[in-house]
Amino acid sequence: MSLTKLLRWLQPSETNLRVWQAGVLVIVLLAWQLASRDQQIAFFLGEPVQVVGRIWSWFMPFDMASNSLFPDGLPGRADIYSHLGVTLLETVLAFGIGTVLGLVCGLWLALSPLASAILEPYIKAANSMPRVILAPIFALWFGLGIWSKVALAVTLVFFIVFFNVYQGVKEVSPVVLANARMLGANQRQLLRTVYLPSATAWVFSSLHTSVGLAFVGAVVGEYLGSARGVGYLILQAEGTFDVNTVFAGIVVLTACALVLDGIVGRLERRLMKWQPRQGEAEKL
């Protein structure tokens, strides 16, 4: 390969995009590892090798000789799956409940101008409220189990979906509505064939953000009062200044969030086949 072709291949493009993305990650990890050779920096930032080792030991089978991966008392394989299962359950429940409530309320208020005008100041006030302060109230109402965490996360997901659905319905073209009514469409048919398709793109746009917020609500709830969950593990590690375990928990949560976001993306592509992609639109 000539130098010109090599330089052309090294330039960022669609064909080598993944290579550049992986390269950025490798550079960051190498810089982090080199910086962590200083013990003072390692105390605050941890060491990538130790973080990877912690994650590896969490998810790999037990050592039959010692019957434990963690002689220092940290959670083993069975424990991490239990903690991760609790956090994922809280996240999925909050994501589903918050999405359904946001979709229903957004459609209702968008199609009911009078109700929207009456409730508008209260909705804005509730959205402006720092939802973290509700965590003690939810703990009092629902206890320290999963439902107090789900309730907190629902308050984060709900408003994102609600405002996007509300705006999506409001953005329906008056010309499309007039044509549908002229063809004899009733309110239910308008909802199914006009309003919902218009709001779908806005909904999926909000769902990508809502995935992360559902995790935030679940983990913050575990921070404030819980005996299970990855947030609880991170809190325990912070109490012992174990920064490597803290970063390991963060990496695990991030990976789970990316998986859920990928599922949402696949569902979006399946349901939004009628909408042309950016590249297709440019060709047209």
CATH at 218: 1.10.3720.10
Taking the model in full, what pTM does it have? 0.77
Domain assignment present for residue 281? The answer is no
Question: Is residue 68 scored above 60 in pLDDT?
Answer: no
Domain assignment present for residue 75? The answer is no
User: Who has greater pLDDT, 123 or 281?
Assistant: 123
How much is the average pLDDT of 255-265? Answer: 88
Domain assignment present for residue 23? The answer is no
State residue 151's pLDDT score.
92
Q: Which of 78-92, 243-257, 269-283 holds the top average pLDDT?
A: 243-257
- pLDDT tens digit sequence for 115-132: 888 988 898 888 888 888
Q: Using the 8-state DSSP alphabet, how is residue 72 labeled?
A: T
Distances (CA, A) of 34 to 31, 42, 120, 230, 245: 5, 10, 53, 28, 19
Domain assignment present for residue 61? The answer is no
pLDDT category, 189, cuts 50, 70, 90? confident
State residue 282's pLDDT score.
46
User: Who has greater pLDDT, 160 or 168?
Assistant: 160
Domain assignment present for residue 25? The answer is no
Question: Is residue 89 scored above 90 in pLDDT?
Answer: yes
State residue 158's pLDDT score.
92
State residue 273's pLDDT score.
63
Domain range holding 223? 81-273
Domain assignment present for residue 59? The answer is no
For 1-5, 18-22, 30-34, 44-48, which range has the lowest pLDDT when averaged over its residues? 1-5
Domain assignment present for residue 41? The answer is no
Question: Is residue 99 scored above 60 in pLDDT?
Answer: yes
State residue 96's pLDDT score.
92
Our count of domains for the chain comes to 1
Residue 219 parent element (H or E): helix 196-224
Report the percentage of the chain scoring pLDDT > 90. Answer: 11
How much is the average pLDDT of 13-34? Answer: 82
State residue 71's pLDDT score.
41
Which tokens sit at 2?
């000539």
Q: Which of 5-19, 43-57, 58-72 holds the top average pLDDT?
A: 43-57
* Helices and strands: H and E segment counts in the chain: 14, 0
User: Who has greater pLDDT, 220 or 283?
Assistant: 220
State residue 270's pLDDT score.
78
Burial of 206 (0-12, 13-18, 19+ CB in 10 A): buried
Please list, residue by residue across 112-138, b when 16 or more beta carbons sit within 10 angstroms of its beta carbon and e when fewer do: eeeeeeeeeeebeeeeeeebbebbeeb
